[in-house]
């Protein structure tokens, strides 16, 4: 079979996946499949603040470096790297969330985190998820250390600091649950419009697309187009399609559910292909052997393009994605 990355490149988009640093290190089959099939990699956890600075001033870049080095983004057959994620309410180190810092200190810590992380990978990370999940489902701004201590100006400031650290990187606002109309999508649209009007260097909007086998992504293409019309790139950044599973490991599903899942995957890829400024589709992991879903949604799983049994065995969803890219 032709690798997804080749099929996608022929259609003018990049097909990528999230990568687990520990799986990359321990599992050669995983590393081979990653290299063969995907044109872009997103560290699933390795660049999060809790991982890179577990104690204040003590850094651990091992997992992130391993992923970027394996991708070899500037090499002849290199993969693009999507950096993930600089400013998020979650996966913050304990010293930061429990420490008593003044507003000025919080500002400095955030600016330095962005400068250090973006600066380290400047020229190698092509796109950054700068601000992740800033909204609640009702469209209000999500409570976080950043919003609560710095007010909503943290969003514009973060983009400006990231831009200064690597002017060539394309900077994304990344959100879930905004794939079709609703209060969150409306709020996201208004936020992006406002940031652009203020001259904030936002280059793209990422739609995570954590979906289920019964999702109906009919409105997704229109939503991508609506944002693209604002003058930004758009991308599918964390696609997975979870289905009910009968085992605790979340790997055993029915044929009917695997077929529904394939349809949803195909619809999402088709939506991206139909919008010229949709740059990439990234799946949030590629094998059911290493998936956040059974932990995050007990009773659900089998969300990826390859099963858990043999990393190399494609599921119906893989076939549908390949056919959609043809
Ligand atoms: O590596 C440690 C391990 O040493 C420790 O024993 C274990 C005990 O809990 O935790 C391990 O780290 C976990 C890590 O996943 C690796 O498995 C963290 O606790 C856990 O919080 C982390 O979860 C990640 C989650 O984000 C929170 O950061 C998931 O892997 C990751 O898939 C998920 O990804 C997010 C995106 O970043 C943003 N959008 C939603 C998406 C899904 O929640």
The reported pLDDT for the residue numbered 48 is: 99
Instruction: Determine the distance separating the centroid of ligand 1 and the alpha carbon of 283, expressed in angstroms.
Output: 16
Q: What is the CATH number of domain 4-325?
A: 3.20.20.80
Atom of ligand 1 nearest to the CA of 296: 43
Nearest CA to ligand 1 atom 3: 22
The reported pLDDT for the residue numbered 312 is: 73
Pocket test for ligand 1, best of 42, 97, 291, 292 (most atoms within 8 A of CB): 292
Alpha helices in 166-254, H assignment, sequence order: 183-197, 220-228
Residue 136, token pair as written in the block:
């609640």
The reported pLDDT for the residue numbered 309 is: 84
- pLDDT cut 70: percent of the chain above it: 100
Instruction: Determine the distance separating the centroid of ligand 1 and the alpha carbon of 141, expressed in angstroms.
Output: 23
Dmax (CA) for the chain in angstroms is 56
In 3D space, the residue among 316, 239, 246, 247 whose CA is nearest the CA of residue 272 turns out to be 239
Pocket of ligand 1 (CB under 6 A): 44-45, 48, 90-91, 132, 208, 238, 292, 296
The reported pLDDT for the residue numbered 1 is: 84
- Domain boundaries of the chain, sorted by first residue: 4-325
pLDDT averaged over 10-residue windows placed end to end, the chain, 326 residues: 96 98 97 97 98 98 98 97 98 97 98 98 98 98 98 98 98 98 98 98 98 98 98 98 96 97 98 98 97 97 92 89 98
d(CA 290, CA 311): 10
């Amino acid at each position: 079979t032709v690798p997804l990355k080749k099929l996608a490149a022929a259609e003018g988009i990049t097909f990528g996946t999230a990568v687990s640093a520990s799986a990359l290190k321990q599992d050669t089959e995983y590393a081979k499949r990653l290299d063969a099939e995907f044109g872009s990699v997103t560290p699933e956890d390795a660049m999060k603040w809790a991982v890179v600075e577990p104690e204040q001033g003590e850094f651990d870049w091992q997992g992130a470096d391993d992923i970027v080095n394996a991708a070899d983004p500037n090499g002849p057959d290199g993969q693009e790297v999507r950096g993930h994620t600089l400013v998020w309410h979650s996966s913050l180190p304990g010293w930061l969330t429990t420490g008593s810092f003044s507003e000025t200190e919080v500002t400095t810590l955030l600016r330095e985190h962005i400068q250090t992380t973006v600066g380290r990978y400047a020229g190698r990370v092509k796109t950054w998820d700068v601000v992740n999940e800033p909204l609640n489902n009702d469209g209000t701004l999500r409570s976080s250390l950043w919003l609560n201590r710095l007010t909503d100006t943290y969003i514009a400031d973060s983009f400006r600091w990231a831009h200064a650290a690597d002017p060539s990187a394309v900077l994304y606002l990344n959100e879930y649950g905004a794939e079709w109309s609703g209060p969150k999508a409306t709020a996201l649209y208004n936020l992006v419009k406002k940031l652009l009007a203020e001259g904030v260097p936002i280059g793209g909007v990422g739609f995570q697309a954590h979906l289920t086998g019964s999702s109906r992504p009919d409105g997704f293409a229109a939503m991508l187009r609506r944002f693209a019309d604002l003058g930004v790139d758009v991308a599918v950044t964390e696609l997975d399609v979870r289905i009910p599973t009968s085992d605790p490991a979340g790997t055993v599903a029915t044929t009917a559910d695997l077929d529904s899942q394939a349809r949803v995957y195909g619809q999402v890829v088709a939506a991206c292909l139909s919008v010229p400024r949709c740059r990439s589709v990234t799946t949030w992991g590629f094998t059911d052997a290493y998936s956040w879903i059974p932990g995050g949604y007990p009773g659900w799983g089998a969300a990826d393009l390859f099963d858990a049994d043999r990393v190399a065995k494609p599921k119906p969803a893989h076939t549908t994605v390949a056919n959609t890219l043809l």
